[in-house]
Each structure stands twice: as C-alpha cells, then as structure tokens.
Amino acid sequence: MVFSTLTFLYFFFPICLILYFAMPNLRAKNYVLMGMSLLFYAWGEPLCIFLMMLTAFVNYLAGRQIAKAADQKAKKRWLVFSVAVSLAFLVFFKYTNFLLENLSLIPGIRLPGFEIALPIGISFYTFQALSYAIDVYRNQAKVQHSYADFLLYVSLFPQLIAGPIVRYVDVQNEITSRRTTAEGFVIGITRFVVGLGKKLLLANYCGASVDKLLAVGTDTSVLGGWLGLVLYAFQIYFDFSGYSDMAIGLGRMFGFKFLENFNYPYICDSITDFWRRWHISLSTWFRDYVYIPLGGNRRGKGRQVLNLLVVWFLTGFWHGASWNFILWGLYFAVLLMLEKFVFAGLMQKMPRVLRHISALFFVLMGWALFYFEDLGALGAFFARLFGSGAGTSDLALTLLENNSLLLIVCAIASTPLGKLVRSIHLALIHAGGALRHISMALRLLFNTVVMTICTIVMVTNTYNPFMYFRF
C-alpha cells in the first residue's frame, strides 16, 4: 500500500486512527498498531509478511540470548547468528538474480535462470532489526522481552516500506511509554500533508517528464539531457524526502518522534556536506555499524581509504542489485576521498558559491549513474550531456517551457524557506492571543487546500510511483 493513494488516506488510515484511539491503554493501542501494520504490509506482500516476521524473531531471540549470555564469546556467537541469518535473507531475495547473471558470463559456466521477487521494504526492515541486536550486544539498547513489542518496532507501517531507518535505541522508550498530544497530532498532520504535497505535486510532475527526456531513443539533445537530469534530481529528492516527511508525520500522530532523514541536501557546499544532509538514517547506519567497527580513521590513511571503499561499495549495492549502483557508491567514495585528502585546502579557499556549484555538478553526475542501469546507455548519455548530440530539440524546448514554473518551485522548495516559515508559525503560536488563533487558522487552511489539491490529483492522475520501493 502507498501513502499517496485514496485507499490509504480515506480507508486504511481513518480506520486505523479510530481503532487506535478507541483502545483504553497503550498495550491495546500497540496491538492495534501492530495488527494494522501487518495488514498494511500484507496488502501488497501477503506471503512475504512471514519473512519479515521471521527476521524480527531471529533478532528478537538473538537480543534476549545476548543479554543473558554468561560470557563475551557466547554474546558474539548470538550476534553473528542474527547478522548472518538476517543478511542471508537479504542477499538471497535481493541479490541472487544478480549473482547468477554475472556468474553465467564466465566462460564455461551455465547456471539456470530464475526470477526471485524482491520483498518490498526488505532493505529497510533488515537494517532496523540488525540495529537492535548490535546495540544490545554493545549495551547501548535495553533488551526487549516482548516479541509483540519488537514486531511492532520492525513492522510499524509509517516507516516500514521506505524508511527512514529507525534504530531501536531511538524509539525503545516510546514503544512502552509514549503519549499523543493534541499539539503533536496537529504537527503530525501538517508534516504528513507537506510530504504528500512534495510527492504528488512536485516529484510526480517532475517524473512525468523525466522518462520522456532520459529514456533511450526519446531525445538526443544536450538541452534535453540536462533538463531531464535536473528534473530527475528533483524527482528523487521530493519523492524520498516526501515519503520521509509522511512517515515522520504519521509517527508523530501515534506519539513516535522519528529522527529527520533529510536536511536540504541541495544547499550543500561539498560532497561531504551533501551526505550529511541526504538520507541521514542510512548514512549514520553505515557509519555506526560498518565504518567505525572497521576502524574508521583510527588506523592510518591507508586503512581509512579501504574502509571508505568498503562502506560506499555496500551503500551502492544496498540500493540495488545492479552494477550502476555499485559504480554510484564507489563514485561517491572517490569524491569524498578527493575532498578529504587532496583538495581540502583548496576547497577552504574557494568562495562558497563555487563550492556549491561544484558539489551540485558532481551530485547530478551521480544521479545519472543512479538512473541508467544499462552501462552502455549511461556512456551514451554522458556523451550527449557534453555535446555529442544536437543542442536542442522541439521536445526539450517544449518540456522546458511547460516545466519552467515547476523548476522554480522545486528550487525554492529545496531551500530552508519552509523551515523558516515553520519557525515563524511556531513563534506566533507561542506568542498567544490573537496571533496564535490567526496562525492556527492559517495552518488549517494550508492543510485543507493541499489535501484537497492532492485528492484531486490522486483521482485524475494515474502516475504515482514511489521510487525507493525497489530498494
């Protein structure tokens, strides 16, 4: 099920809210939320729900055994067990086809081909479950004695399908002692509406033109290539950050405070800065559970370079079982190392505007790697970007004219202007009196208008994919 559908907004979610708030205590509310989360997942993946429940049980069991193990060796054995089993599930379902296809390219090897369906959200819930077992092993999280509560954490529908990756330690107390306030609920509604608007009114309209410009054989002009790439950059940002906003808003309505997943990444002034702002939950997960355990930057420059290559290889491969994703990850590894070890001094002397333009250029090149799974098509696209085709085309000029306002809105929405508006709104609320009532009325008007427009779009527009569902 997708958040940006009439089924979710006007059927599933209202029923969930009614049942949840009708329950007399938090234990009953948790059972309702867990049951509705399992139904949410089973709506699109009725059989794969058992795989998710098994992954949750493996890590739940490992956490309990780690907590009561008598010595460090026993603790480590249970941790290895949870990591091995969880990653085995992930590798089998996500990477088997890729591995078989590539092994079959070796002369003399002929392997039978078969398709394994990728369970939705497996990359996200696997990392979430693993964070629990690892943090219990490190004594950073309290052991969970209730499988139902742990399954609620893993299956919680706001963040189940496409994140953000919520670490157990960040919500362990809220599972058993949270409460929903009227103010928090209203904040959650607004955050959800903002995310829904990003998805339906920005990402989808950008995406409607992307394939027309980037798909092989549709347009060969330089202008079309750059326009398509910029629209794709906006599409993937507003698609994923919009989903994260909706997840954070939904969580807030139920009393959960998920951490931020995006912090205006397109205002970055370096690649390092970009990755501090983009998909924060994934970046911090690999930092805390892979990079630092490998030694981080504590074992010399050579080992640090190796650690960075490992982390970014895994980051790329996590996104998809395709060579372009691996190249995408390694591409950013090289850029980060160049910034850190070669151009650090030069970058400090550059004006910020030049650092910003440079960072955005390399980010855009990265999105080209991300888009084209066919490496031949990728090479042709890079040649096209830098002048191998015609300068313009009728299609490119038409789409540029049709999307000029959309591009301006997306550029503005990529800046912290929205954050400034929120801070002013909150200041007016806290001021009290007439200013508070005016501010609340404006919030209600904003939510009503955006929801109405989004509903009309959902009724009339069939183009509504979530890009990160396939990761």
Separation between Cα atoms, residue 37 and residue 21, nearest integer Å: 15
The tokens describing 114, both together, are: 């078969």
Separation between Cα atoms, residue 166 and residue 248, nearest integer Å: 10
Burial 360-387 (b: 16+ CB within 10 A, else e): bebbebbbbbbbbeeeebbebbeebbee
Of 279, 319, 425, 430, catalytic: 319
Cβ contact 75:108 at 8 Å? no
H helices present in 104-203, as ranges: 122-137, 147-155, 157-160, 168-177, 182-197
The tokens describing 189, both together, are: 């509604």
The tokens describing 52, both together, are: 């998710």
Separation between Cα atoms, residue 341 and residue 185, nearest integer Å: 47
Nearest CA to 155 out of 249, 320, 62, 30 is that of: 30
Backbone Cα Rg of the chain: 23
Separation between Cα atoms, residue 123 and residue 91, nearest integer Å: 10
Give the number of other Cβ atoms within 10 Å of residue 394's Cβ. 10
Residue 371's H or E segment, with its range, is: helix 352-371
Relative orientation angle of helices 49-68 and 72-103, to the nearest 10 degrees: 150
Give the number of other Cβ atoms within 10 Å of residue 298's Cβ. 10
Give yes or no: 279 in active site. Answer: no
The tokens describing 170, both together, are: 């960040």
Nearest CA to 386 out of 151, 202, 221, 201 is that of: 221
Separation between Cα atoms, residue 184 and residue 314, nearest integer Å: 37
Separation between Cα atoms, residue 338 and residue 332, nearest integer Å: 10
Burial 30-52 (b: 16+ CB within 10 A, else e): bbbbbebbbbbbeeebeebbebb
Residues carrying an active site annotation:
319
